[in-house]
Amino acid sequence: MLLKLGVNIDHVATVREARYRGRTEGEPDPVEAALVCEAAGAYGITAHLREDRRHIQDRDVTELRRRIKTRLNLEMGNAPEIVGFALKTKPDIVCLVPERREEVTTEGGLDAAGQLTSLSETCKRMNNAGIEVSLFIAPDPAQVEASARIGAQFIELHTGAYAEQFHRKRERQVELERLISAAKQAYQLGVKVNAGHGLNCENVPLLHIVPHLVELNIGHSIVSRALFIGLEAAVKEMLKAMEGYQG
């Protein structure tokens, strides 16, 4: 079973916005970065359109939809304006995430169990428009069950706690067991499983023991590594780390 790589290009846009915020063009261009990632073997491109537009802009998503040939995954909060934009732009899949203005990056999983009604409605609207839905959740049994009830096609397991505990053997094992259990539960409920957050070439190989994974969504470590070896090489290096997954 080939484990697929979705490359998150948000941090390319972060570098651009540091100099060109509020302008209609600037470098580096996250769309051009996406095309490099595609050519290097990425299965898909992920971009998070935040309500405060701190990195990815509306025009970036529109251009991504027009130009990339692989799978476009739009990360987004469940806000009416962003939902409307997604329905108009039609990415292949949306990943619904929690969003707080003050956070640097998405810090935790979505409380799917506490938002059954609103998330079910958004999921239904997306599915009716031909867009698949993923929910970014912690590896928690209640959240996995809620995701299935909502009707999501995918969950994306938040691997942040695993990444943070990676160098503490006992704690790392606890987090791995949580991920394994959640992946098995989702599979039994008919929900496909992605994973992401804090992943890099060092901690990805051990994730191979988590069953039923379809795709890893990875951004920061690839963009960071690209500063030293180039984006194409960084994507290929990550793909190498992902090789050998048995599912």
The residues assigned a catalytic role are 48, 75, 197
Q: 3-class secondary structure for 33-102? A: HHHHHHHHCCCEEEEECCCCCCCCCHHHHHHHHHHCCCEEEEEECCCHHHHHHHHHHCCCEEEECCCCCC
Residue reference for tokens 């290009």? 9
The answer to whether 13 and 57 have CB atoms below 8 angstroms apart is: yes
Which DSSP category does 3 fall into? P
Backbone φ/ψ region at 55: left (φ over 0), alpha (ψ -120 to 50), beta: alpha
Q: List Cα–Cα distances, 181 to 48, 95, 174, 184, in angstroms.
A: 27, 21, 11, 5
Query: What is the distance between the alpha carbons of residues 238 and 220, in angstroms, rounded to a whole number?
Result: 12
The answer to whether 137 and 114 have CB atoms below 8 angstroms apart is: no
